[in-house]
């Protein structure tokens, strides 16, 4: 290390140490009267130690220790909650997946090895539920994202009057609990008295049986999901507002039209936000459960059209008390989502851009 650099670093280290002494009042104001030759000795000693990555814990000042204890105290509720309700249950399900654990008769639990995972390969409901989930994801993810991006572009338009009011109105449905929203939409999509079919009837179109037809149940679920895309709209809106106006002005001077500006400026600049939302939407699609459960009372109808993977898992674990088998289903779901997420992250190198860094 060059002498000037060493002296600069040692001076900074000395200042930090003197600040610690001053903050604890361990020596009052005495350090301000330290002779120059003693100060130089301290500087040299600090220079000899500056190569160490950090001070030893034994050298921490009493104030620093006290602050550290308070920090742990304030985050302790989260730590306790994480251990009790997340980490320990995750590890417990991993252990249960190798047993025939039944919560009704836990004393009869025996270790069965990989038998639960072998059953997955022969259980027709697993394949059916997985295909139902994939079909829903293929339809819901692009439609939901396109609709959310359209709303974000709308409320970001400088010519729109009352933008704050529209943002609030579009976001408010996402605050309604899923169960309450499902009951509302069950009435809205009723074949005979629902507002949707009554509205279609006014223009001469016979409305379908939204919730009881295997053909229309997925469009119905996607349509209901569009009602609560407030969070998606807000994150995309934040990304749009982060795009520098200078880029649009420069493109306009060069003769780029609105479509070209959107494709070559807006989309690349908000690609990190798009990537973030796609990741959450992919995970959410494979976790889909509550709305289908409430609308069809957990039956998976019509004809297993709403037997999503999570619903099949729930029925095995809690309706049939096959907690060991349900745990195996949960871990297989984890692996599937993990693989898909890794593939999505791998593809991000080709289309996700960060300002000042180019491609990811």
pLDDT for 57: 62
Whether 169 and 317 map to the same domain: the answer is: yes
31 has a pLDDT exceeding 50: no
Alpha-carbon distance of 251 to 243, in angstroms, equals 13
Q: Do 285 and 136 meet the contact criterion of CB atoms below 8 Å apart?
A: yes
Is residue 96, in this structure, part of any structural domain at all? no
Residue 56: which pLDDT band, with cuts at 50, 70 and 90? low
Q: Are strands 358-359 and 353-354 parallel, antiparallel or unpaired?
A: antiparallel
In the structure encoding, which two tokens stand for residue 118, read together? Answer: 């072998």
pLDDT value for 17: 47
Check whether 10 has a pLDDT greater than 80.
Answer: no
For residue 1, pLDDT beyond 80? no
Read off φ and ψ for residue 184, nearest 5 degrees.
-65, -45
Which domain covers residue 23, as residue numbers?
3-56
**269 and 154 assigned to the same domain:** yes
Quick one: angle between helices 163-171 and 124-155, nearest 10? 170
Residue 108 in any domain: the answer is no
Query: Is the domain of 181 the same as that of 319?
Result: yes
**Tens digits of residue pLDDT in 39-52:** 444 444 444 554 45
| pLDDT (0 to 100) of residue 279 | 96
Beta bridge partners of 359: 353
**Residue 268 and residue 341 in contact, taking contact as beta carbons nearer than 8 Å:** no
Output the pLDDT for position 59: 78
**Do 27 and 136 share a domain, yes or no?**
no
Q: Where are the beta strands (DSSP E) in 64-126?
A: none
Q: Residue 320 carries which DSSP code? A: S
| Whole-number average pLDDT of the chain | 86
Average confidence (pLDDT) over 139-158: 95
User: What distance in Å separates the CA atoms of residue 324 and residue 164, rounded to the nearest whole number?
Assistant: 50
Cβ within 8 Å of residue 155, ≥6 positions away = 163, 166, 167, 170, 233, 237
Is the pLDDT at 339 greater than 80? The verdict is yes
CA dist., res. 302 & res. 211, Å (int): 8
Within 13 Å of residue 32, how many CA atoms lie on the same side as its CB?
A: 4
pLDDT at 155: 94
Per-residue pLDDT, 127: 95
Task: Reply yes or no on whether the pLDDT at 221 is more than 90.
Answer: yes
Which pLDDT tens digit goes with each residue over 173-187?
999 999 999 999 999
pLDDT at 158: 87
Tell me: pLDDT of 353 over 60.
yes
Kindly tell me if the per-residue pLDDT of 32 is higher than 90. Answer: no
Do 28 and 128 lie in a common domain?
no
pLDDT at 354: 84
Residue 269 · residue 355 · CB < 8 Å = yes
Please check whether residue 71 lies inside any domain of the structure: no
Average pLDDT of the segment spanning 19-28:
43
The pLDDT of residue 8: 46
For residue 46, what pLDDT is reported? 47
Query: Helices 3-24 and 62-82 meet at what angle, rounded to 10?
Result: 80
Instruction: Indicate whether 215 and 297 sit together in one domain.
Output: yes
Q: What is the DSSP string of 114-147?
A: THHHHHHHH-HHHHHHHHHHHHHHHHHHHHHHHH
| Residue 88 confidence (pLDDT) above 70 | yes
Tell me the whole-structure pTM to 2 decimals: 0.78
- Asked if residue 224 is part of any domain, the answer here is yes
CA distance 85 to 97: 18
Quote the pLDDT of residue 60: 80
pLDDT at 29 over 90: no
The answer to whether residue 100 is domain-embedded is no
Find the CATH number of the domain harbouring 333: 1.10.3720.10
Same domain for 145 and 276, yes or no, is yes
Q: What is the pLDDT of residues 164-173, one digit of tens each?
A: 999 999 999 9
Domain co-membership, 236 together with 341 = yes
Number of domains composing the chain: 2
Per-residue pLDDT, averaged over 139-157, amounts to 96
Tell which of 37, 56, 75 closes a domain.
56
Residue with the bigger pLDDT between 311 and 2: it is 311
Q: Are residues 45 and 187 in the same domain?
A: no
Average pLDDT value for residue range 50-79? 80
Domain boundary among 36, 56, 76: 56
- Count Cα atoms within 13 angstroms, Cβ side, for 358: 0
Question: In this model, does residue 38 exceed pLDDT 80?
Answer: no
Residue 105: inside a domain: no
Is residue 314 within 8 A of residue 289, CB to CB? The reply is yes
pLDDT in tens, 234-273: 999 999 999 999 999 999 999 999 999 999 999 999 999 9
Q: Which residue has the tokens 């139902």?
A: 132
Tell whether 340 and 225 lie within a shared domain: yes
In a domain, 65, yes or no: no
Take residue 295 and report the two structure tokens written for it: 């609308």
31 found inside a domain: yes
Same domain for 246 and 355, yes or no, is: yes
Number of Cα atoms under 13 Å in the Cβ half of residue 76: 7
């Amino acid at each position: 290390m060059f002498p000037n650099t060493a002296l600069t670093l040692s001076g900074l280290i000395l200042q930090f140490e003197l600040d610690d002494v001053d903050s604890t009042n361990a020596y009052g104001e005495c350090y301000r009267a330290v002779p120059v030759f003693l100060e130089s000795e301290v500087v040299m000693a600090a220079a000899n130690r500056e190569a160490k990555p950090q001070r030893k814990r034994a050298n921490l000042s009493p104030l620093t220790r006290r602050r550290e204890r308070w920090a742990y105290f304030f985050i302790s509720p989260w730590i306790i909650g994480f251990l009790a309700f997340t980490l320990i249950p995750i590890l417990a399900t991993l252990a249960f997946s190798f047993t025939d654990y039944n919560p009704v008769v836990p004393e009869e639990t025996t270790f069965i090895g990989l038998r639960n995972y072998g059953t997955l390969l022969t259980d027709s409901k697993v394949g059916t539920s997985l295909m139902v989930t994939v079909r829903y994801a293929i339809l819901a993810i692009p439609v939901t994202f396109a609709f959310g991006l359209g709303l974000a572009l709308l409320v970001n338009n400088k010519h729109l009057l009352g933008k704050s009011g529209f943002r609030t109105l579009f976001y408010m449905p996402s605050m309604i609990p899923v169960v309450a929203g499902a009951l509302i939409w069950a009435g809205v999509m009723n074949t005979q008295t629902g507002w949707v079919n009554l509205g279609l009837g006014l223009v001469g179109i016979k409305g379908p049986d939204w919730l009881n037809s295997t053909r229309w149940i997925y469009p119905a679920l996607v349509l209901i999901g569009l009602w609560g895309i407030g969070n998606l709209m807000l994150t995309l809106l934040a990304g749009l507002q982060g795009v520098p106006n200078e880029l649009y002005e420069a493109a306009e001077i060069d003769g780029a039209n609105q479509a070209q500006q959107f494709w070559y400026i807006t989309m690349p600049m908000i690609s990190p936000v798009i990537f973030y939302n796609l990741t959450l939407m992919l995970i959410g699609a494979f976790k889909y459960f509550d709305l289908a459960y409430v609308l069809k009372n957990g039956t998976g109808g019509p004809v297993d059209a709403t037997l999503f993977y999570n619903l099949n898992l729930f029925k095995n674990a809690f309706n049939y008390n096959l907690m060991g088998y349900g745990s195996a289903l949960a871990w297989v779901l984890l692996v599937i989502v993990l693989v898909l997420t890794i593939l999505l992250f791998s593809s991000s190198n080709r289309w996700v851009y960060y300002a000042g860094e180019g491609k990811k």
